[in-house]
Amino acid sequence: MKYSAIVVASGKGERAKLGFNKVFFVMKDGMTVLEKACQLFINDDDCERVIVVTNRENFDEVFKSDKLFVCEGGKERKDSVNNGLKYCDSPYVLIHDAARPFLHIEMLEEVKKAVLEKDAVILARKAIDTIKVVKEGFIEKTIDRNLIYLAETPQAFRTDLIKMAYEKSLGQYTDDASLLEDLGYKVGIVSDIFDNHKLTNKEDFENL
């Protein structure tokens, strides 16, 4: 399959308290978080283009690669992804958080296989803890954890399908699959068996 990867890197990362966009944090191996997050896509022959969406003031900080294209992010995540989609003409697109630099190649391959079959899939982690619904400080009910998955990225789509969803969507969303869900489309799950956590808080950057 041929695909483009959109890597969303336009957040400010205020919870990380680094004083700069967290994706430009330099890890012990000398790579930035952003470069690490893009590495698998750049090395993948199936990936035609890696589209990094970031703040205009950060353009000069983005590492260089022949496969890399940089465009400006928007006010919200949804706006940033929509900007990136304008530069995607591959038949499939994988949308990934720049703050997830630990994607395993086995999971990337599983996502690619699944999107060919289902048109829309996300990488997600099965819940292992007991899940409680809480309202005003009290438990309302307990949900069967076997029904719960924690959404991750990449999220993969047939490009024409996700572009259509963005054209029709009105609200703001925290992940891309939600747009298709709201339009009545089924989105598949690939269960992640590796550590693919998102770097969010200050302590996440210790010992990187």
In order of 135, 148, 196, the CA distances from 144 in angstroms are: 18, 7, 23
pLDDT tens sequence across 156-165: 999 999 999 9
Q: Which structural domain range is residue 169 located in?
A: 3-205
pLDDT tens sequence across 55-95: 999 999 999 999 999 999 998 999 999 999 999 999 999 99
> How far is C-alpha 48 from the geometric centre of its chain's CA atoms?
18
pLDDT tens sequence across 16-45: 888 899 999 999 999 999 999 999 999 999
Q: What is the pTM of this model?
A: 0.96
To the nearest 5 percent, what fractions of the chain are helix, strand and coil?
Answer: 35, 30, 40
CATH no. for residue 63?
3.90.550.10
Task: Domain count for the chain, please give it.
Answer: 1
Does residue 136 carry a pLDDT above 80? yes
